[in-house]
Amino acid sequence: MKMERFLAIFLALGVVLGTSSLGMAADVSLKDYNAVVVQDLEVPSGSPAPESAGMQMAEKAVYQIKRYNDKYKLFDTVVKEGGKASKETASGKKVLIIKGEVKEYSVASVGGEVRRHFAGGPFGAGAGTADFAAHYKFIDKESGKVIYETDLRTSSTSGNNTVEYAMDRNGEALAKLIVKFKGK
C-alpha cells in the first residue's frame, strides 16, 4: 500500500514537472537567429573538472551544432567566441549567444568497469560510466536577455567510456535542442 502511494505521488510529480517544462520550452523560437556564438563554459572552483573542460566543451558544442547546421541549414554562421570568424558574426545578423557552466564531470572508475564487464545485466548497468552535465543559457545578443535555460546531462557508453565521449554526447544533445527550437 505504501509503495503504491509512493509511486502515485512520484508519477503525479513527474507529470507536473514534465508539463511545466514543456510549457516553458514551447514558446522558445530560434527562427529569427542567423548566427550562433558559443562561449567557453565556466568551470566553478572546486569542481573535479579541469580548467580546460569549459573550452573543450564549447569546441565540442560548436562541432556538433555545425554538424546539424550542415544537414538542416539552421544558421549562416556558427562560431566559438574568440575564434577568427566570431568578429564577423555581428555584421547585420541576429545573434544567439550560448553560454554555460559545468555542473558535473565524473570519470569512469576502473572498479565499475570491471563490475560491469563481469556482472553484466542489471547488476552492471551504469557501473563505471563517465558523466558530464552543464547548465546552458541561450541569450539574445542585442538585448542581453536570457531567452532559455536548460540543464543537459549525458553519460558515456560501454564502448566509449570516457568523459570526452560524454561531452560529445552533451554537445549533440545541445545541437538537437537547437534543431527543435529552430523548427526543423
Condensed to tens digits (0 to 9), the pLDDT of residues 131-172 reads 999 999 999 999 999 999 999 999 987 678 899 999 999 999
Indicate whether this model's pTM tops 0.85: no
With bands split at pLDDT 50, 70 and 90, how would you rate the model's confidence at 23?
very low
Other Cβ atoms closer than 10 A to 11 = 10
The Cα–Cα gap between 57 and 36 comes to 15
Q: Per-domain residue ranges for the chain?
A: 1-30, 31-182
Place of cell 573535479: 48
What is the tens place of the pLDDT at every residue in 92-133?
A: 789 999 999 999 999 986 544 444 455 555 444 444 689 999
What are φ and ψ of residue 175, in 5° steps?
A: -65, -40
Architecture (CATH level 2) of domain 31-182: 3-Layer(aba) Sandwich (3.40)
What is the tens place of the pLDDT at every residue in 28-57?
A: 999 999 999 999 999 999 999 999 999 999
The Cα–Cα gap between 31 and 179 comes to 10
